[in-house]
Amino acid sequence: MKAIICHEFGPLTDLAWEETADPVPGPGEVLIATEAAGVNYPDGLLVQGLYQSRPDRPFTPGMEVAGRIEAVGEGVSLAPGTRVLAAVPTGGYAEKAVCPAARVMEIPEGMDAAEACALLVAYGTSHHALKQRGALKAGEWLMIFGAAGATGVAAIQIGKVMGAKVIAVCSTEEKRALALETGADHAIGYDDLKAQVKDLTGGHGVDVVYDVVGGAAFDAACRCMARNGRLLVIGFASGEIPKFPVNLALVKEFSVVGVFWGNWTRAEPEAYKANMAELLGWYAEGRVKPVIEGRYKLSEASEVLTRVLARGATGKIALVP
C-alpha cells in the first residue's frame, strides 16, 4: 500500500508519499481499507514534534479513518466487509489502517466517509467540550472562536441542538457568512470583542466560551464572561499560549476549564461511546451536518496540512485514496 510517512519531526514539506508494507491486524484488531481520512489541526503539530505526544519515527499521521473492514485479528467479532469509523493514534493517512476493534464503530452503508470522519474528532471534541466540560444549558450564551473551522462549525450546530444562543467569532466576512449559514445567531469579528458581546447579550456576557485560538482572543474572552461562566480551553491556533489573569476569575466568578478529547476517550470509554451514539443519532435525524470543504488525494497531505495550520481552511477537509 501507499502511505504518508513522517521520518523525523520537522517541516510539513518533509512528509513523504511512499510504498510500504500492508499492516497486519493482531489479536483484537481490524484492518480497514480507507475510504477517507480526516485532517485535523493536531496532525500537523504531531508531524512537527509540537504535540503533547511524540510517537516513535517513522510513523504515518492521521487519527480518524472511515472505510470497510478488510481483515480481522483473533478474537474480533466484527465481520470483514463491515463499514466502520475508527479512532487511531496514528496511521490514518494511508490506503489501509489497523485499529483496535474496541475503537471502531459501525456506520451505515450510505453515510459519506468524509462526514463520518468529521463526526469523530471535530464533532466529538465539540460535543465533549459543551456537554461534559462546559455543562451548556438551554438559553445560555455560547461564544465560539474559530467558528468557521471544522470544530467551530461542529460547536455551532451542537450548541444549537443543546438550545444555546450562539455568537460565532471569525476573522473574515466570508467565514462569518459560513457561520451564520451553519446556524449561529450572530457572527462577529475579533476587534473590540468586549463591547460587541456586551451589546449582543444586553450586558449579561457569555456563559460558555469555546476557545481553540488562545492568545489575544483568550484575553478578550476573560473580559466577556458572565458570572458562573465557563471558559473552555481547547487549543492555541494563534500559536500563543496565553497567561491567565487570575484576578478576573475572582472578581467575575467564572471558571477556566481544560478540554482534552483524546485523553477523555481513553479515560472514560463508555461515556465516549454514548457521546458518539448521540452524535450519530443527531446526524441521522439531520440535526447536525458536517461542512466538507474538500476531498484531496492522500498524496497532497503536506499541502493540505500547511493550509490547515495557517487557519486557511473552513469546515472539514478529508484525504481520500
Q: How far apart are CA 32 and CA 36, in angstroms?
A: 11
Report whether 171 contacts 147 (CB < 8 A).
Answer: no
42-46 contacts: CB < 8 A, separation 24 or more? 43/93, 43/305, 43/308, 44/12, 44/305, 44/306, 44/308, 44/309, 45/309, 46/6, 46/90
pLDDT at 208 over 80: yes
C-alpha cell read off for 103? 475503537
**Average pLDDT value for residue range 254-273:** 95
Domains of the chain with CATH codes: 2-111+291-320 (3.90.180.10), 125-262 (3.40.50.720)
* pLDDT for position 310: 85
**Average pLDDT value for residue range 143-160:** 96
pLDDT at 311 over 90: no
pLDDT at 250 over 80: yes
* pLDDT for position 171: 93
pLDDT at 312 over 80: no
pLDDT at 240 over 80: yes
Digit-coded pLDDT (tens) for 22-53:
999 999 999 999 999 999 988 999 999 988 88
* pLDDT for position 124: 96
**Average pLDDT value for residue range 53-64:** 94
pLDDT at 239 over 90: no
* pLDDT for position 280: 94
* pLDDT for position 314: 83
* pLDDT for position 89: 87
Report whether 279 contacts 155 (CB < 8 A).
Answer: no
* pLDDT for position 290: 95
| Residue with the three cell numbers 475572582 | 250
